[in-house]
Amino acid sequence: MTTDMPLRVSADVALTNELIAFRREMHADPEIGLHLPRTQARVLEALKDLELEIVLGTSTTSVVAVLRGGAVPDRVIAGDRPAVLLRGDMDALPITEKSGVDFASVNGAMHACGHDLHTAGLVGAAKLLHSVRAQLPGDVVFMFQPGEEIFAGAQAMLDEGVLRASGGRPIAAYGVHMASDAPAGLFTTRPGPYMAAFGQLDVSVQGRGGHGSRPFQALDPIQVAAEIVGSLQTYITRRFNVFDPVILTVGEFHGGSAANIIPDEATFKAGIRCFSAEVQGRLAVELPNLVESIARAHQLTADAVFDLKLPVTENNAGEAEFWAATAADLFGEERFETLQFPKAGSEDFSKILLEVPGSFGHIGAGSPDVDPSEWAPLHSSRAQFDDRVLGDQATFLATLAVRRLSAANMSAGVSAGGSAGVSATGAA
């Protein structure tokens, strides 16, 4: 089968308005964690008129929907059907909303990270791609994920086989994240490290309590824990390359009950971000060693546990270039920016990108009702989003899938020595 015209998908005003209404309903009724029954029901309702193969999570309320394209060339044997994975996360945060929007949540949770828009935009992409399914030269896996904020949802979906949902492994995976403090409709990404790896260091220092007037008869865990906190920062600046940076923040420190008592124990927790697997591997070994060695030098003991919670969100260079070129082509060069630096936040889509080449990026959604100097960041109780970006978000995700599948078929045709059966005009 040959198509002369490149396949185009674009959200119209009616679809954009439908997605805005869907998003606002979801925003008013947020759910937290891995179990989002009302959100899952809303997604299933929105998809119910589409011909999709749907698999629901068993350990979570995830939704995996597979759209079968009707234009996979005959030479592409079953099992080798190309598939692209598109992901949207669905969970909210335990924040009391103070955004002031008239569809604000009142249940003590809040979509302060824009995951309501991620879900709505993915529903829109499913509708757009469904409308051209007969001409689609491959399959699309829609990954509706719970539990991103607790770094558990992507792993649960991997464990339940999201990468086998269409048969073969997807050839590429894409996702977007809203930015509440960037101009609406501005697309940003970069090749290579895009968001930080995240690890947590839990430390407990055991001493021997005593009277505050006679520290020489005790083993003071607070003094030693404080020295360890300072030494961790020193160690990072001396032992790690500044061009492969590490950010360490001690966000919790506990010990003691009164000014004249030396306690038995002090504890603290640090969040640690970095931008390469090599550095994260070193941190996991060297920081516990430093902690335990300093405690030992003072004749105390310490337990230090490093939990590697998330890997680096690593954009494949070619896929990031394709992501960027698609945004610039669809919406104009002025609406795309290559980020100079990675973002120091973390994202569990990183686990998908460890398995499948792909790219992740942000879409600005700063509110038109708020002065840009007052735009609240993600995770703020005041965060607001311009949901008019939903149409472009859906168009963008759907176009990534169309162009990537077309390009894959073209290269399959070339490597098979035949002419490409499907025009990939427009594929980057």
Return residues touching Zn ion (CB under 5 A). 113
CA 407, CA 413: separation in Å to the nearest integer? 10
Residue 414: what residue type?
Answer: V
**Shortest separation between residue 178's beta carbon and Zn ion, angstroms:** 8
Q: What are the φ and ψ backbone dihedral angles of 56, each rounded to 5 degrees?
A: -95, 150
**Shortest separation between residue 148's beta carbon and Zn ion, angstroms:** 6
Cβ atoms of 119 and 91 within 8 Å: the answer is no
Q: Which is nearer to Zn ion, 46 or 113 (CB)?
A: 113
Q: Which is nearer to Zn ion, 353 or 408 (CB)?
A: 353
Q: Which is nearer to Zn ion, 292 or 348 (CB)?
A: 348
Q: Which is nearer to Zn ion, 359 or 406 (CB)?
A: 359
Q: Which residue has the tokens 């539990």?
A: 147
- DSSP string across 338-372: E-SS-BSS--TTHHHHHHS-EEEEEEE---TTS-G
Q: Which is nearer to Zn ion, 82 or 153 (CB)?
A: 153
Query: In this chain, which residue has its C-beta nearest to Zn ion?
Result: 113
Q: Among residues 261, 258, 252, 254, which one has the least CA distance to residue 220?
A: 261
**Shortest separation between residue 141's beta carbon and Zn ion, angstroms:** 20
**Shortest separation between residue 115's beta carbon and Zn ion, angstroms:** 6
Q: Which is nearer to Zn ion, 113 or 196 (CB)?
A: 113
Q: How far is CA 296 from CA 129, 145, 208, 299, in A?
A: 61, 45, 13, 5
**Shortest separation between residue 179's beta carbon and Zn ion, angstroms:** 10
CA 64, CA 90: separation in Å to the nearest integer? 13
CA 104, CA 110: separation in Å to the nearest integer? 8
**Shortest separation between residue 290's beta carbon and Zn ion, angstroms:** 32
Task: For residue 308, give the H/E element and its range.
Answer: strand 301-310
